[in-house]
Amino acid sequence: MGTAEQNIIVKTSTEIEVMQQANSIVAGVLQMLQQEMRPGLTTRQMDRWAHDYCRDHGAVPAFLGYRGFPASLCVSINEQIVHGIPSKKVKVREGDIVSVDFGTVYNGFYGDSAVTIPVGKIPAHKEKLLKVTQEALERGIKQVRIGNRIADVSAAVQSYAEEHGFSVVRQFVGHGIGSDLHEAPEVPNYVQNQPSPRIVEGLVIAIEPMINIGTANVKVLKDGWTVITADKKPSAHFEHSVAATKNGPLVLSRRQEELEKKQELQEL
């Protein structure tokens, strides 16, 4: 797809370092929310914590005011897929799954990542959904290699999710990221029947599988933001910002708990 490839803005190694700093702040926010998640917590409180952590670390919340979004953090519970608006009235409950999506601007570059967090003990079908969605993201990340195409990322995500009986959201996709939150190319979580941009050194993309237990169809609520599954069955959302380098994919937004897990696996 010639035009898409021409619009792709590759990053220098210095810019990628700045983006790693932007994303490390995002990772810190998401890790904090994982640690603090408990029944009775309001989604508004999560938003305040995220906003304050970001500001305390010298960054600006990227989503606040973006296209009119009224908060710093997207909080989407159970059948909510993405773009849930935090509220003082909404409290999470035992057994919920809570998708939190956060972005920063730091020294002119963006960071963006998401994680779906269980609240207390969750049912087995939700547990499986979280594991499969997270693994689908990891499989997509492995395809961020120079010479591959975006479609290779899409295929890896889609095939893994569908193998496990889940559906892939089509109306919302991942994206390039850099000095803008959303840049070319689009990164769908399913294979499209059209040419796909080549992955080049310095490309940075946000890969974000949104995987549903039931139908792939979605609805947008009256608030104009919150996206839910059409059949109101649970959905999970995981996202990382990833750079294509000579040495393979570099995940800019890894959380500390993920790094520790990887270390443990290497030591086994």
Question: Residue 129: its pLDDT value, please?
Answer: 98
Sheet with 248-251, side-by-side order of all strands = 183-187, 174-176, 204-207, 240-245, 248-251
Residue 3 above 50 pLDDT? no
Q: What is the model's pLDDT at position 2?
A: 33
What is this structure's pTM?
0.95
Which range is least confidently modeled, 137-141, 203-207, 237-241, 259-263? Answer: 259-263
User: Computed from CA positions of residues 184, 243, 69, 210, in that sequence, does the dihedral angle turn out positive or negative?
Assistant: positive
Domains of the chain are 2-258 (3.90.230.10)
Q: What integer pLDDT is reported at residue 260 of this predicted model?
A: 80
Kindly indicate the confidence band of residue 6, based on its pLDDT and cuts at 50, 70 and 90: low
Instruction: Tell me what pLDDT residue 7 has.
Output: 86
Q: What pLDDT, in 10s, does the model give residues 96-114?
A: 999 999 999 999 999 999 9
Percent over 90 (pLDDT), the chain:
93
Average pLDDT over residues 184-201: 96
